[in-house]
Structure formats: structure tokens, C-alpha cells
Amino acid sequence: MVESNEVENQRLLDVSEASGSSSVLGGDTRNSSKSSLSAVYTFNLIIGVLVSCLSSVQYGYHMSELNAPEAVYTCQKSVPLGEYKDSWFGKRGIPQCITLSNSEIGIVTSIFSIGGLLGSIYAGKLADKFGRKRLFIVNSFFFIIGSMVETFSKNYYQLLIGRLISGIGAGSGIVVTPLYINEISPLELRGTLGSMNQVSINVGILLTQLLAISWSNDEQWRFILLFGSALGTLNLFGAFLIIDESPKWLTINGFKEKDLATLMKLRNSDLTRCQLEIEDWKQQQLQQATVGNELSFIKYFTLPQYSEPRKVVDVVMVGQQFCGINSIIFYGVKVLVSLFPNSSIMINCFISVINAVVTFGASLFIDKLGRKPMLLSSVSVMCLASIGIGSGILLNLSSLTVLSTFLYVGSFAIGLGPIPFLIIPEVTQNEAKGIAQSYGTTLNWLATFAVGYLFPILNEAIGGLVYFIFASVCVAFFTFTYYKIPETKNKNGFEQVWR
């Protein structure tokens, strides 16, 4: 990151000189510019990141909202607080639970991924056309409506519809959030602030587990779903009233005065830096217009020069899910309940804490240690941990199972969690980055659906042996990474990466 920052800063300085901005800078352009190019955390920058990350929080929240209360909401277990008919939901004729088979549980859980796929497909183009802020507002309504439909569902199909709607909002949000953070952040802080997207996903996962400690019972499990509407309302308020539109989007779409005013609030009123950034965005727009139309899907899949980068996209995006992490995110309580019938929810909550903390810590080292070493380390430990989980379940060794689960989630967070989305644009040609990111996201959502749907079926059929399948995927992923994925650390451009 240090080297790439210096290259970008130099590029900004060159833009300044080429555009004749020395009169604006006053005196020697290069010296004054260097002093201006020191990034600071401004109040508006921090608020912008926090509000935009609410979409990521909800992505994680909805992914895991059905995890802890599964036995209760599917009528497999009753945890009464009193007479259900006297509860708020009972008085309104809403059933205590919804009877579901393992196959139906898998579909209800994984339909969220189909919604996510649909949302991610339209998000990029709509965000480019209407702006990032407007899309945050639209996504908030998906979260509010989806959560309300889930909360008041009386049958399997209503629950499916609610999960699908929430998934659409999450899929769109997970595209727009990193885009918005990237565009409002100074280059020097872009890595750290960009990692808040993944951290926020894990905060959302943790939040569901914390609420489930109190609300996983007959009368209150629907409150976990309803809380998603509260988050959506908070997101709507923040997007509508607090944050500004992306200054880069404003520049590209011709809002000449508004872009500078918005950027000034983000950059501590540093006029020099703001003018340099805006001029750089304009030059990028001119370069993109010179290149012409974006690469087509047909060319991306047929031209030989895209073959090797595309293989990397295939493996990292599918492998991330097929290594099995969502067996814990979606069904962690179900996996642990046979060994810890009275404390599985609490243990799963601790697992979520580990996930969030380790993800945040790992984000500080990705640029220092490199993508490939962290991927190899991550998937190696996940392989051993998968074997440990499977062995612990089969041999009824509770300590081995829980320790291996902690290790499994922690090792995912240091590499296999954040790096796949980061590495796609780094191994792909400039003209193919957009289509590669779209293709990779689609693969990832489909793989997420497959794991979410198939895991409860496989878990019922073969129990702990399913984790040996995940371990074998980890071995294959390690082999491919070691021999086929190039290191991208301190590499500037496609040619350097694949040299």
C-alpha cells in the first residue's frame, strides 16, 4: 500500500502540473502539494463511512438472523416464556412457529443469496446512473419491507418472500458500500477504511447472536427479524439526512460546484488536495472515454488473454464458499447444539466476536504481509480446523469441536474472508475489471446459495463427515493458490502482477 500510495500521489502531482494549477497552489507546486497530500480523518469522512457501512451490517445481520432461533421458529423446539396466545404476536393470530423440513430450511436460508445475486446485478448500473446516495435510500426500503414481511410471516412462502426482498437490499448494498467508501476516502486511508466493509458484515453477524441470547424463544424470536427493520430505518435516516453524495460521482456527472463543496468537507477544507483529486477524476473519465465501450461478456470468456485471470476469479470466489464458512454463519447453533444443548447460542456468539475482532486485526496486515501468504495460511489452518470439527462431532468430543470452530472462523477472517474480493481487480486487466468483479460476485452468490441449501441436507445424512468434504476443498484451494495465483503486493498494474 505504501508504494501504491506514493505512485498515486505522484500521479496527482503530475495532474496538478499538467493542468497548470501552480497559480492555485501558490509558489512551488510540488512542495506545496506534498504538504497538502497528508490525509486526515475528518468528521464527515468518519460519518460517511459509518452510515454507508450500515448496509454491510445488515448484510451480515440477515445472513445469520435465522441461525440461533432455527429450532424455535421451525417448531422443532419450544422455549416458552408464558402462554403464547397472550403474547403480542399470539393476540394477533400470528403462529408460534412455522413447521419446515430440512430441505425447506435450506431454501429459506439460501433464498437470501438469490436475492443478493439479483440486487448485485442491478446495483452498479443504477448507482452510476442515479448516484450512490439514492441507492442507499432505495436499499433501506428493501431492508425495512423485507424484515417486516419476515416478522409477520405465517407460512413458509411468506418467509421466503421476506428473505428474498432482504437479500435484494443486501446484494445491492454490498456493491455500493465499498464503491462509496473508496470514492470518499483519501488514498492513504483507503485500505483501512475499505476494510470496514468486511468488519461491518461481521458486526452484523455478531449483532444477531447477541440478540438471540435473549430472544430465541417462542414469544420473541420474531423480534430478531423485526430488528432488521429498525436497522433499515436507521440506514434510511442516515442516507437521506446525514451523508452527501459521492464527490467523484458528482464530478463525473457534471456537478461542478457541488463536487468541490462536498469534497472540501471530507478533506478538512484542503482546497489544494480537493482540486487535484477532482482534476484526476476528470482525467480518468477522459481516459475511459478514449478506451471506448466496456469489454463484452463474450470476449471475456472467449479471448485467451483473459483465461488465467478468470481462473483465479473462479477458484477464489467459489472456493471461499465451498471451504464451508457459511455452515457456521448460517447453521452454527445447529452444528453445536448436540454437543452443547444449553450453551450453543452463547458459544456461537463468542465465535462471532472472534470473527469480527480477527477480521479487523487482519485488515491492518494485508498490505504488509501480502495476499498470497495470508491466503495460504488461512486455508491451511481452515483445513486442519475442518478436520477437527468433523472429528469432534463424530467422536462426540465437545472441546475439540468448539476449539476447532474458533480456529476455523478465525483463520477464515485473516485471509479467505477479505482477500478474494480484493484480489480480483488486482489480477485482472484494466478493461476487464468491471466485468470480472461482476462475474466473481455472481459466482460467490451462487456458491453461497449452494452451501446454504445443501448443508442441512448433508449434515442430516452424514453428520460430521461433511467437514471432511470442506477440508478436501481447502486442500484443492491451497494447491491452486500456491501454483497459480500470483502475489499482488506492491505490484502496480496487470503486467507487473503476472510478470
Its sign, for the CA torsion 180, 184, 190, 196, is negative
List, for residues 258-313, the tens digit of each pLDDT value: 989 999 999 888 888 888 888 888 887 776 665 555 678 888 899 999 999 999 99
Instruction: Choose the weakest-confidence range: 3-12, 337-346, 374-383.
Output: 3-12
| pTM of the predicted structure, to 2 decimals | 0.82
How confident is the model at residue 342, as a pLDDT? 79
Q: Which three cell numbers stand for residue 371?
A: 495476499
List, for residues 156-173, the tens digit of each pLDDT value: 999 999 999 999 999 999
How confident is the model at residue 492, as a pLDDT? 62
Average pLDDT of the residues in 130-159: 96
How confident is the model at residue 20, as a pLDDT? 43
Distances in whole angstroms, Cα of residue 321 to Cα of each of 212, 222, 265, 278, 370: 25, 28, 40, 39, 21
| pLDDT at residue 122 greater than cutoff 90 | no
List, for residues 18-52, the tens digit of each pLDDT value: 444 433 333 333 333 343 445 678 899 999 999 99
Residue 438: which residues within 8 A CB-CB, separation 6 or more? 120, 121, 124
How confident is the model at residue 361, as a pLDDT? 81
Average pLDDT, the chain: 86
Please provide the size of the chain in residues. Answer: 499
Average pLDDT of the residues in 428-444: 82
What percentage of the chain exceeds 90 in pLDDT? 57
Domains of the chain: 42-243 (1.20.1250.20), 298-499 (1.20.1250.20)
C-alpha span between 3 and 122 (Å, rounded): 34
Residue 249: which residues within 8 A CB-CB, separation 6 or more? 127, 128, 131, 132, 183
List, for residues 58-76, the tens digit of each pLDDT value: 999 999 999 999 999 999 9
Residue 16 pLDDT grade (very low, low, confident, very high; cuts 50, 70, 90): very low
Residue 287: which residues within 8 A CB-CB, separation 6 or more? none
Write out 241-295 in H/E/C secondary structure: HHCCCCHHHHHHCCCHHHHHHHHHHHCCCCHHHHHHHHHHHHHHHHHHHHHCCCC
C-alpha span between 324 and 342 (Å, rounded): 25
| Helix axis angle, 43-52 to 156-184, nearest 10° | 160
| pLDDT at residue 499 greater than cutoff 90 | no
Residue 474 pLDDT grade (very low, low, confident, very high; cuts 50, 70, 90): very high
List, for residues 250-260, the tens digit of each pLDDT value: 998 888 889 89
Q: What is the CA radius of gyration of the chain?
A: 24
Average pLDDT of the residues in 424-434: 80
Residue 477 pLDDT grade (very low, low, confident, very high; cuts 50, 70, 90): very high
List, for residues 327-348, the tens digit of each pLDDT value: 998 998 888 887 888 788 888 8
Residue of 140 and 371 predicted with greater confidence: 140
φ, ψ for residue 397 (rounded to 5)?
-100, 95
How confident is the model at residue 275, as a pLDDT? 87
How confident is the model at residue 291, as a pLDDT? 54
How confident is the model at residue 294, as a pLDDT? 60
